[in-house]
Amino acid sequence: MAFDTSAQYDKVIKICKDLFMKKTRDYGTAWRILRPSSLTDQIFIKAQRIRTLEEKKVSKVGDDVKGEYIGIINYCVMAILQLELDQQIGTELDPSFVDTEFDKRVQETKDLMFAKNHDYGEAWREMRISSLTDLILQKILRVKQIEDNAGLTIASEGVKANYQDMLNYAVFALIKLGLAD
């Protein structure tokens, strides 16, 4: 069976972005007040909840795993934006600006995914969703360590690259969960 990874990726991102932009219209860009480390913790909460749901197979809150992966994607975009946007532009951003910046960060992340897919041969398609969850959790722990080291690394990729990997792993999980069908 042939897959169109680009089209599947775009379908998942469209769903995530639609929710992101609706929440931007509802709440504004209140997330701009959060430090990147707080966004890392939000991603951790989402990923840990997914892992708990994978292990216990029951939710007492009612939210599903797909919604949590969507949250991871959107928090990763927020975190990348926080790393890259000048804090001097303020907390409240115009929705059209947010729309454009969201697309820029996702396109850069998608391009990274295709470069890695070239080298790894889309190995993620054979992985278990639980492994993607574990990889996200591992990346979160790496980011926390880098944040605790004031952003300094000796031989490792930086925080942004880890956020991009987490975003891509969450997209892969949603594709595997049928969100792109």
Per-residue pLDDT of the chain (181 residues; tens, 9 = 90+): 568 999 999 999 999 999 999 999 999 999 999 999 999 999 999 999 999 999 987 766 667 899 999 999 999 999 999 999 987 788 999 999 999 999 999 999 999 999 998 888 899 999 999 999 999 999 999 999 999 998 878 888 889 999 999 999 999 999 999 999 9
Amino acid symbol at 25: R
CA distance 70 to 72: 5
The whole-model pTM stands at 0.94
CA distance 169 to 109: 11
CB 44 within 8 A of CB 140: yes
Token pair, residue 93, equals 């951003």
User: Which among 73, 91, 95, 89 has a CA at the least distance from the CA of 21?
Assistant: 95
